[in-house]
Amino acid sequence: MPTSHIIALGSRDPSGQGTARAWGWVATAWLCAHAMWACSEQPDGASGANPSEACARQNATEVCTCQNGARGRSVCSSGSWQACECSAPLSAAQAGAGAPASTPTVIVPKDDLSGNLRTDVTFPWTRTTPDKLSCEAGHYEGSFAGLYYSRLNWPVPFPVTGIDLPGQPGLQFDMQPAEPGETTLKVNGKFDGLADLVFPFRGDFVGELDCKTGKFVGRMLNGDYAIGPRDLVILENPIHFAFEGPVSADYDKITHTFVNGTWDAVEPAFGGQPAPMLPRDPLRDGIGGSGVWSTGWIGAPIAYTCPDMTADGLPLACEPGPFGLNKPFCVYPSLVPGFRADAPGCETDAECDRHFPGQHVACTDINGDGVVVRCLKECSP
């Protein structure tokens, strides 16, 4: 999957051709866009490229010497070298009748190279593989596993798994490029697995990677596990238990993977506390769970979107359903206590068309029993 490859001024793309072109554009703009100093046709005494000589390559440049001894530039245009362009303050004579009327004057700032120091000027390059030895921004997918000590089954733990299946990863997140001058990259994503192979176990996954040290530190947020499977659009079973906790990992710049990942989930409302070392000791650390995780680079970030609200004013957001993290639906905050989100109810497709005009959203019987019938609008990637 292609993604955007950012090359800053002065860096090198694989072919070396793109950066040369980029520098040519910047040099031309620099010479032609400012209005404090003059570059004029080669004054008397300037030497270098002979304007009468032929040249073969359009826009090729050659060093020439200006009247004041400074270095100038001559450009190949229409098969011949142009007059030497020189950077010098405008004198009274030059500003008046000193320069021929036919002389094209290019104004440039004298010795102003501050633009070369900017780090926010970049050029996009499309490619399908990450750079070598880089902290690669983009979309990551993987899996997690561990044991969880719940108050429902204390002190016997139940297994927790989030397997990376095709199109249904247990853990996924997008890593954003570092800000100019920074070495940290922000991570934002979700995890979605099963507790005891049956009960939903899910939440948000956020943090930061320090590219200089290769260390990732983050947190599991808004996590919960539920007793009984969730419906397609009812994202939180009424019998659910909330948790959160720290996560960490190392980043392998050669394989572009997060490795040696650990997670430590805690239920602070019921006496759980972060473990001083992993794996957790239930008698020492209380209610919670711990385990391992890993992810690998997939490609460009995936942004799922849906309308801001339905036609009748219900606010919408993308949330994953039980078909996996890559199958989010447009939902709104639930009005039913104990539930987090829901989708518009319906009896016919015509009702869904009123919620989502012109988008051909079907009225779907979620479980096939007529109890949960909703307008299912899938988020668009």
Q: Label residue 49 exposed, middle or buried (CB < 10 Å: 0-12, 13-18, 19+).
A: buried
142 and 291 in a single domain? The answer is yes
296 and 143 Cβ atoms separated by less than 8 Å: no
Q: Are residues 160 and 237 in the same domain?
A: yes
Same domain, 143 and 240: yes
Lowest-pLDDT choice from 44-48, 239-243, 350-354: 44-48
Same domain for 252 and 357? Answer: no
Query: Residue 237 is part of a domain; what is its CATH number?
Result: 2.40.160
* 80 neighbors 62 (Cβ within 8 angstroms): no
pLDDT digits (tens, 9 = 90+) for 325-381: 777 888 887 665 555 677 888 999 999 999 999 888 999 887 677 777 888 888 887
Q: Is-contact 334 326, C-beta < 8 A?
A: no
Q: What angle do CA 130, 143, 320 make, to 5 degrees?
A: 95
pLDDT digits (tens, 9 = 90+) for 126-177: 545 666 568 999 999 999 999 999 988 888 999 999 988 877 899 999 999 9
Q: Which of 234, 264, 299 corresponds to the end of one domain?
A: 299
CB 89 within 8 A of CB 35: no
* Cβ neighbours of residue 21 closer than 8 Å, sequence gap 6 or more: none
Residue 350 covered by a domain = yes
| Rounded Cα distance, 376 and 354, in Å | 13
Q: For the residues 69-89, what does the mean pLDDT come to?
A: 80
- Residue range 288-304: average pLDDT? 91
Residues 285 and 157 in one domain: yes
Least confident of 62-76, 81-95, 278-292, 302-316: 81-95
Tokens representing residue 351 in the block: 């009702």
Assess contact for 66 and 88: CB atoms under 8 A: yes
Picking from 140, 147, 196, the residue whose alpha carbon sits closest to that of residue 170 is: 140
pLDDT at residue 246 greater than cutoff 50: yes
253 and 109 housed in the same domain: no
Alpha helices in the chain (DSSP H): 17-33, 92-95, 282-285, 349-355
Task: Retrieve residue 187's tokens.
Answer: 């991570």
Domain count, the chain: 3
Distance CA 243, CA 272 (A): 9
CA distance 311 to 332: 13
Nearest of 83, 51, 84, 82 to residue 66 by alpha carbon:
84
- pLDDT band at residue 97 using 50, 70 and 90 as cut-offs: very low
Residue 130 lies in a domain: no
Kindly state whether residues 249 and 205 are assigned to the same domain: yes
Dist CA 292 CA 1 (whole Å): 27
Beta strands 71-77 and 80-81 are: antiparallel
Residue 106 lies in a domain: yes
For residue 259, the Cα-to-chain-centroid distance in whole angstroms is: 20
- Say if CB 40 and CB 153 are below 8 A apart: no
DSSP letters along 228-281, please? SPPPSS--S-SSEEEEEEEEEEEEETTTTEEEEEEEEEE-GGGT----SSSS--
d(CA 235, CA 37): 65
| Residues 142, 233 within the same domain | yes
Mean pLDDT of the chain: 75
- Asked if the structure places residue 351 within a domain, the reply is yes
Considering the domain boundaries, does residue 266 fall inside one? yes
Mean pLDDT of 119-125: 50
Which amino acid belongs to residue 368? G
Q: What is the pLDDT of residue 336?
A: 59
Task: Report yes or no: 128 and 2 within 8 Å, Cβ to Cβ.
Answer: yes
Closest CA to 207 of 199, 197, 218: 218
Burial 213-239 (b: 16+ CB within 10 A, else e): eeebebbbeebbbbbeebbbbbbbbee
How far is residue 186 CA from its own chain's centroid? 8
Mean pLDDT of 216-240: 69
Please check whether residue 128 lies inside any domain of the structure: no
Range of the domain at 15: 3-116
Same domain, 32 and 62: yes
CB-CB contact of 207 with 295 (8 Å): no
Same domain, 288 and 340: no
Q: Is residue 332 part of a domain?
A: yes
Q: What is the C-alpha to C-alpha distance for residues 325 and 359, in angstroms, rounded to an integer?
A: 22
Q: Are residues 261 and 342 in the same domain?
A: no
Q: Which one-letter DSSP state was computed for residue 378?
A: B
What is the CA angle 324-254-129, rounded to 5? 60
One domain, residues 357 and 292: no
More confident residue, 234 or 380: 380
- Between 26 and 283, whose confidence is greater? 283
DSSP character at residue 183:
-
pLDDT band at residue 228 using 50, 70 and 90 as cut-offs: low
